[in-house]
Amino acid sequence: METKIPKFLKEKLEKQYGGDLAKAILEGYEKTRKVTLRVNTIWC
């Protein structure tokens, strides 16, 4: 599976957090999340 995450970022995460935690972080980046909007009522 090809990912959108650059190789240098994967390498930095693995170096800083180790294999298992870096893998969990990368899986989180690849998940599709819903979009939320927030209105600033002070300026409206």
Rounded to an integer, what distance in angstroms lies between the CA atom of residue 11 and that of residue 39?
38
pLDDT digits (tens, 9 = 90+) for 1-44: 456 889 999 999 999 999 999 999 999 888 888 999 998 888 76
| DSSP 8-state code for residue 41 | T
Dihedral of CA atoms 29, 22, 11, 27 in degrees, nearest 10, equals -30
pTM over 0.75, yes/no: no
Quote the pLDDT of residue 36.
Answer: 92
